[in-house]
Structures are given as structure tokens and as C-alpha cells.
Amino acid sequence: MSSTFLVTGATGNVGRHAVTLLLEAGARVRALTRDPAAARLPDGAEAVGGDLTEPDSLKAALDGVDGVFLVWPTVSGDHAAPAAVETLAGAAGHIVYLSARGVSDAPEESQGFILGSHARMERLIAASGAAWTFLRPSGFAVNTLQWAEQIRTTGTVRWVYGNAGRSLIHERDIAAVGVRALLDDGHAGAAHVLTGPRTLTQIEQVAAIGTAIGRPVRWVETPAEEVRRGILARGYPAEMADAILAGQAAMAASPEPVTPTVEQVTGRPATSYLQWAADHADAFR
């Protein structure tokens, strides 16, 4: 009989690919969702109701599972993290956790906001008694969909630090590594740092989108304070706005490196940003 895996965040950018890839590998898949009736899942996936921030609601979803692909509601769900990890570890033999590049391995190091949330989750999982694998991707290519409305309406991107270099990764590649970690031996105790195949500046990313949609897209450098006001206007806290801008400045000074991990784990090269843009071209047209 095939193994059974629980995927959380199963309707999100990474989780939906994890569901598909596990099914293609012949595994049984349960997809955790707050509203199973509304979930649009591939044929063969079992939608199961539950909420990670309410650990008691997870028991039915965890019955008989061999492993969990864990996408956690970072920051917003941290109050429930200790109880949720204890519940997951008590039922599953292996937890593959979607973390983030930049999380420190030093438990005494203090890291703010998002990285701090991921670091705390990693520590909880590592101490839980379950086998674990951490996925630490660089920036998600899918986050550049934030430019889609600007590109559709003006053909330009107004943002900050155009020379910031990122090794953006396709969300499908993150899922693919996580699935191999669940299905294959040798990944327990590993913290996989995942990137795309090249480092591109944001200006180069915008040019790639233009290539994908068949018309030029222009970059317009925007003052950091103006961008900060726009982030705050969308409802994000000041701490997050400052962290975003500090991260952009850091990548302009020191571009993100590239790792070979995607190819080493999956047996195929990481997907290019140009291919990602082609896969999502309709969002920018």
C-alpha cells in the first residue's frame, strides 16, 4: 500500500503543487483546509477540514499519516505553534517544513519578525521527536505577481532597488524538493537551501516578464520612503515594511547566491525565472 501524507496550505502556491506531485508519485494525499467543500483539488486528493491554529481540529486529518508537508501561517499562527507541532509530531513520522532562506542554525541568535517566526518553528519541530526536513527557499518568484496590476495597466513597474539581485525560485520547485524529502531516504535532519538557477536583478526580472508577454515592460526606480508609504497603505505593519526595504537594500549590496540543491534532490535543473514568467504570463497581460 502507498504511504499517506497530509499537506497543509494545500490550496496555496506551494501546497497545491505538493498535492499534485505526491499524487503523481502514487501516494495518498490528504489536503488540510478550513473549508473542504470550497477546495479545488486534483482528482484523488482527499480534502479534510481542520485549522492549524486549532490543534484539536487536526486529529482526523492526521489519522494514519506517514508524513506532513507543513506550510505554516507564519506570524499570524505563532500563538498555536507549540501545541500544533506537538500534535503533528505525535501522529506523523516525518515533517517537511516550509521555512525560509536566512534562518539561523544558532538557537541563541535573535531574528526579527518573519525569519524569527520560521526559526522558532524549526526549533519546535527539531525538538518534537519526529524526523524533520527544513526547506529554506530564497525569494518566491510568485511574489513578483505584486507587479501584475502595474504591468497590465501601465507597462511599467514602480518599485525600489532595481539592482537588487535575487535567485528567485519557482513554487513548483519548492514543492518538488519537499515531495522528494517525504518519499526518499536521506533527507531527515537536512535543511535544504533552495534557489532558482540564476541571480537576476529586479530590472532583469521585469525584462523577463516583458519577454514572456511579448511586449516591453519598463522599470521606474522609486524612492524608498514612497514605497514604504505604499506598503503601509496596504495594511502591513511598519516592522514588515522596514524589513522588506532593508532586505531589498541588502540584496542590492550583496545579491543572493545560487545553490544546486533543486537539481541534486530532484534530478532536474531548477526552473528559470523566464519560464516562471511564461507559466504566469496571463496574470501580467
CA–chain centroid gap for 140, Å, is 6
What pTM was computed for the model?
A: 0.94
Picking from 90, 122, 137, the residue at the C-terminal end of a domain is 137
Residue-level pLDDT at 45 = 96
Residue 262 lies in a domain: no
For 45, the domain range is: 4-137
Q: Residue 229 pLDDT > 90, yes or no?
A: yes
Mean pLDDT is lowest, of 44-48, 75-79, 127-131, for: 75-79
Picking from 137, 158, 177, the residue at the C-terminal end of a domain is 137
Residue 66 lies in a domain: yes
* Residue with cell string 530532484: 266
Confidence tier at 110 by pLDDT (50, 70, 90):
low
Q: Is the dihedral of CA 97, 101, 104, 105 positive or negative?
A: positive
- In this structure, what DSSP letter does residue 37 have? G
Nearest Cα to Cα of residue 66 among 159, 153, 129, 4? 4
Over residues 148-204, the pLDDT tens digits come to 999 999 999 999 999 999 999 999 999 999 999 999 999 999 999 999 999 999 999
Helix axes 224-233, 238-253, angle to 10 degrees: 140
Q: Residue 37 pLDDT > 90, yes or no?
A: no
Residue-level pLDDT at 108 = 65
